[in-house]
Structure 1
């Protein structure tokens, strides 16, 4: 099969299209013919040399941790799915490929009317946002600050926090402020004076902060939120330790993913697709992610 992979750490151009062995489904597993794969900042970090928790990077390494497609092989003991089932799911690595093999408990059925590009973008970004807000105890009546609110994870976090009854203030580049308003968030621009601007918008204070930007955004959160246990980051783990706030790792499961899909089907959650690329332009997709301040998700269309 064809896959976008890298054989050394480095800049986006280390990603190349390679021919690799097609995986086979074992007991309890399904093989999915991939239609689309989501691209995330964490994929860029892996390409540069970072190893996800519980995973070992081996060359040639195929990145990618969310996908959608059609099951074409079923392992022994799998129930609830059949060859031809349209699914979306997750795996730590290996999704920038024509086929991926995963445990059957890592996929859920794709709604018929959900486009492939949105289906692949729901799993990792959606579950990361859901995990973070749950760990931070976001609920009815809270005022929540979400950094990088226009990005792939931030877009979902804003919608979930609103659905759970919170008031949301979202940081973003100025060009994305109207987009945040369309999601129901109160936008605030990055830059000097951020703490003062947020305090002016929330005179009664900020109850929780979710950071997908790092750096100054996380420092601002510490100034704005009294209870550090209600501040979490998914990007700045070293700074999280230094500041005494939460380093949040996505806790993914088929039940969590199914809840997100149900919200999508009810019209309460959507995914904005920033740009799609063919598999052989995975390097260009990484360059787009690394520009920063983007809106929504970047996706690789595989088939």
Structure 2
């Protein structure tokens, strides 16, 4: 039987286990994929604690971790067009990614370009796509200055690079230890911590034209005060009600295959580096998750599934 890394109830790491599961069967509009790589994201461990996105149903246990994969099509369900066994694809999963097999919704699955490897492709459906959606939502003109808070994480790193590809100047707030990393993204680094907003004013004396927040809380509130136009304030790090009180908005996710194709194109063209900093085999999925859960990861962590 195939293996999967699951949580058996809501709680902490003590709920996690590598177990054998039945091979999934694709339903209407679904694709069964033999997983080659799965991206690891903060939302994965948050879901283990009971977090649910708006509209998500209660989980059935054991619940497989993970939300993004790259792999090879094994089978397709009814009403699926454009995909066949053997196709290399990537996308968000229906229910779980840290596994040897996963189900993907065909409508939001993209074909993987030959020049894009599985490991990099597995990082794109959440972090890079979220970054891309946010940059498009801000719709800043070329030459404008974008402030990214939490610039050292997966979404932040992708947002900085995509913004640069769109002709924007970027100021990235991150810890002192991530200075070299943030600067490698083409951004001006500003150290996080007390006084960070004043340091942003010094780094961008003409002001910032937009804010992409990935931290929330007081950082979001301080970032809002740096803007004259609060409609150019977006967040993927705070609840909608928090940012709306400040005059901004949550990142509106497109969740389309077209967006996945766009971010893949940016990688192939050398404009976006997913910055995969660590990889783990499936039997070390718990360690991979701890690496992200501690909150100090640079770039992306990926689970690679051997065949």
TM-score, length basis structure 2: 0.93
Aligned to 1:6: 7
2-side partners of 1:89 and 1:45: how far apart?
20
Alignment of 1:37 with 2:38, yes or no, is: yes
Q: Deviations over 1:153-209 (max 9, x none)?
A: 111101110111111000111121111211110010101111110001111111111
**Alpha carbons 1:143, 1:167 under 8 Å: kept:** yes
- The residue aligned with 1:115 is 117
Runs of 4+ residues deviating >4 angstroms? none
Tell me if structure 1 keeps the 8 A contact 2:94–2:104: no
Question: Which position in structure 2 is the counterpart of 1:231?
Answer: 233
Deviation at 1:120, TM superposition (A): 0.3
Which whole-Å CA distance do the structure 2 matches of 1:47 and 1:58 have between them?
Answer: 12
Q: Which runs of 5+ in 1 are unaligned?
A: none
Task: Quote the residue 1:159 is aligned against.
Answer: 161
The match for 1:61 is 63
CA contact 1:232–1:245 (8 Å) conserved in 2: yes
Out of 282, 286, 289, the residue aligned to residue 289 of structure 2 is 286
Residues in 2 aligned to 1:38 and 1:121: alpha-carbon distance in whole angstroms = 5
Alignment partners' CA distance in 2, 1:301 and 1:118:
11
CA distance in 2, matches of 1:59, 1:242: 37
Stretches of structure 2 lacking an aligned partner (at least 5 in a row): none
Are 1:106 and 2:108 matched, yes or no?
Answer: yes
Tell me how large the CA RMSD over aligned residues is: 1.7
Q: CA deviation at 1:58?
A: 2.2
Rounded Cα–Cα distance in structure 2 between residues aligned with 1:171 and 1:191: 9
C-alpha distance in structure 1 between counterparts of 2:95 and 2:226, whole Å: 36
Structure 2 SS opposite 1:4: strand
Moved more, 123-132 or 272-281: 272-281
Q: Is the 8 A contact 1:169 1:186 kept in 2?
A: yes
Output one character per residue of 1:88-110: Cα deviation in whole Å (capped at 9) or x when no partner: 11136411221112222222121
| Rounded Cα–Cα distance in structure 2 between residues aligned with 1:241 and 1:21 | 44
| Partner Cα distance (2:94, 2:204) in 1 | 38
Kindly tell me the number of residue pairs found equivalent between the two proteins: 303
